[in-house]
Amino acid sequence: MEIERIGIVGAGQMGGGIAHVCALAGYDVLMTDVGQEALDGSLALIRRNLDRAVERGKVVAADRDAALGRIATTMTLSDLGRTDLVIEAATERETIKQAIFEDLVPHLQPHTILTSNTSSISITRLASRTDRPERFMGFHFMNPVPVMQLVELIRGIATDDATFTACKGVVDRLGKQAATAEDFPAFIVNRILMPMINEAVYTLYEGVGTVTSIDTSLRLGANHPMGPLELADFIGLDTCLAIMNVLHDGLADTKYRPCPLLVKYVEAGWLGRKTRRGFYDYRGEGDPTPTR
């Protein structure tokens, strides 16, 4: 089937990034959120990012303007029923995602494909709560979406070949690289990445190293572009904890037990960059300072 109209649920960092790349690739995009402020903020960020791309010579001004013209917003979830593909990019909580799909399904066209940008939750289980498990799959973009080239495609147990082929076609049109993952907790990227971040938090918790020494060691010793604690702040500590809980619950292996220090930071509301405090404090005017 031909996909030309894409609906996006969630105007946060991921949803806005997905809207950006889809519109730039020529898709008509309809983005929804529960608040107009979130939608307006997302559109403003997309414009700033596209302006920056024009300044750097990566996008021509005419393509920027055309992309912005393809993005529409709505606070009414049912409006997404007229799209060909829906990408859910809401908070990484299964109950929220299930509620979104239950509200959306009655308004969908028969051919509409449903996907989730979940980074860890079972695609088969999410699909089972809809009327179209064969037209449901995982569509996991990496953050930041305009920069990162990978998209994980995850088939649920019922996903049919036509749905996979259509979604793979979207990834190709976006100019990104697809990696196919099986539907097991956290898929590929986060199955490997999150335990590394959790182990870095344990290393801090046990006093083996400081925030600075741990991040410096992985940047310079393993040639990582960002230290694991800095990366955790960028991702969001609540998201890291949610994924570790999915791994721990889904695989029943103690090696995936979330570090108590990670739990404590989340309980304190120190979630990283988005709250301006996590393993680093971002509230000052200079460089972020370690909080431990």
Largest CA distance in the chain: 56
Marked catalytic residue, from 119, 120, 122, 198: 119
What is the pLDDT tens value at each position of the chain, 292 positions in all? 789 999 999 999 999 999 999 999 999 999 999 999 999 999 999 999 999 999 999 999 999 999 999 999 999 999 999 999 999 999 989 999 999 999 999 999 999 999 999 999 999 999 999 999 999 999 999 999 999 999 999 999 999 999 999 999 999 999 999 999 999 999 999 999 999 999 999 999 999 999 999 999 999 999 999 999 999 999 999 999 999 999 999 999 999 999 999 999 999 999 999 999 999 999 998 999 999 9
Q: What is the pLDDT of residue 70?
A: 98
Q: What is the pLDDT of residue 98?
A: 97
**Which residue is it, tokens 């046990």?**
206
The CA distances from residue 190 to 119, 221, 232, in Å, are 7, 21, 12
Pairing of strands 136-141, 150-155: antiparallel
88 part of the active site = no
In terms of Cα–Cα distance, which of 79, 112, 77, 72 is closest to 97? 77
Q: What is the pLDDT of residue 168?
A: 98
Q: What is the pLDDT of residue 6?
A: 98
Measured at the CA of 35, the angle between CA 30 and CA 39, to 5 degrees, comes to 45
Q: What is the pLDDT of residue 1?
A: 76
Burial status of residue 7 (CB atoms within 10 A of its CB: 0-12, 13-18, 19 or more)? buried
Marked catalytic residue, from 117, 120, 190, 198: 190
Marked catalytic residue, from 88, 92, 152, 230: 152
190 part of the active site = yes
5 forms beta bridges with 28
Pairing of strands 71-74, 85-88: unpaired
- 106-142 tens-digit pLDDT: 999 999 999 999 999 999 999 999 999 999 999 999 9
CB 28 within 8 A of CB 19: no
CATH 1.10.1040.50 fits 189-290, yes or no: yes
Measured at the CA of 101, the angle between CA 106 and CA 192, to 5 degrees, comes to 155
116 part of the active site = no
* Residue 33: DSSP 8-state: -
Marked catalytic residue, from 20, 42, 94, 140: 140
CATH tag, 5-181:
3.40.50.720
Across the chain, the runs of DSSP E, i.e. the strands, are 5-9, 28-32, 71-74, 85-88, 113-116, 136-141, 150-155, 177-181, 280-281, 289-290
152 part of the active site = yes
**Which residue is it, tokens 């721990």?**
248
Where exactly are the structural domains of the chain? 5-181, 189-290
